[in-house]
Chains A and B, each alone.
Chain A
Amino acid sequence: MSNLPSISNFISRQSFIELDARERAIALFDEGTSRELVGPFDRIESPWLAMQDVTPQEDDGCVVMKGKIGGQAAVVIALEGAFQGGSLGEVSGGKMAAALTLASADNEKGVSTSAVVLLETGGVRLQEANLGEAAIAEIMASILVLRRHAPVICLTAGTVGCFGGMSLAAGLCSYVVMTRESRLGMNGPEVIEQESGVDEFDSKDHALIWAIDGGEQRYATGLADALVEDDIPQIADAIRNLVLKGPPPVYRSSQVELYRSRIAALDTSRQWDPKELRALWSTKDSTEEKQ
């Protein structure tokens, strides 16, 4: 996937990244099948933000939609990266966990229902810290239950990316789909710089950040399952294919030995180049099935 798109493709593409969370969710469903659950007019907003002088959003930055993908029942849960950095609070986190739990209940009743989570988030919302952390723990537990029945697909398209506690949730998903523009990592660049100094990680160096956290690198080192262009039809196709593929034979999160041995074998006394890591941790070493 190292070929750059041609200029004409680039100009004619329909950007997914430019869509807001609601439009992104609709774009993934078979046309005309989606309906929103607990939408903005239900006015279930965060009770904590206004107390702290922060303007709330009526859907708390989490859009839940039910519908069909590739003819099969699916739920799409999209975080709005532009609202409070897509952070998880009591309400947005609760909506995501409840939607995943209900999808599991549908599967147990015999209605195969997969889930797509659109993660554009810095993780827990600091204004609701403990409740956000609890919600993320619930989300992770819900993913572990649901992924046994049907694929739980994480799509991180950008430009916020997926960081903090929600990067762990992404790691539990059946499949991770990224674009070249998106990023995935536990600690964000600014956090690393703040904690360990600019020598460790320069958060102003965008080329460095994307060389490490970016979708292309994550895909090349086997931490993402598909790398897609920022194009609505291409992203919707990739998601549909993964929904129809069913659960993977081996989960990334169960390959503890593989990833531990990779870290153990790494000589940390010198600075590694992101390209070297690609050679060392190429996707073919992974026991996972590739697309």
Chain B
Amino acid sequence: MERIELDYPAKKKVSNGAHIGVVGSGDLEVLLEPTDGETAHVSIRTSVDGFGATWKAVLDRFFAKYEGAVRIQINDAGATPGGVQLRLEQAAEVSEQ
């Protein structure tokens, strides 16, 4: 298991939290919580070691569009980059409902 921490600038206040997914094979769990301040922090725990650059690329792409001030916890059980992206977008969508 590898731990990865990433930070991004944020502008927008988020009103609700969101919990998405399951730590099941090929899937992941995303917990999104609003925070005060102007940063977003992402903590990742993944069962597959050695993919730090790929995680950063996926999160860079997500935060290129997303501006919420949030704390995101990802518990991953080997999801594909595309699956991670979809789960993040799903969490963002649920937090706006």
Contact = CB atoms under 8 A, between A and B. Distances in A.
A57 interface: yes
A83 B22 contact: yes
A58 B31 contact: yes
A82 B75 contact: no
B47 A55 contact: yes
Nearest to B47: A55
Given A54-B1, A55-B76, A80-B22, A41 B47 contact: no
Nearest to A51: B1
Contacts, number: 48
A interface secondary structure, majority: loop
Interface in A102-131: none
A213 B19 CA distance: 34
A11 interface: no
A83 B76 CA distance: 11
A34 to B, nearest CB: 15
B41 to A, nearest CB: 15
B73 A58 contact: yes
Nearest to B49: A53
Contacts of B76: 55
A82 B25 contact: yes
A207 interface: no
A20 interface: yes
Given A41-B19, A55-B46, A82 B24 contact: yes
Contacts of B47: 53-55
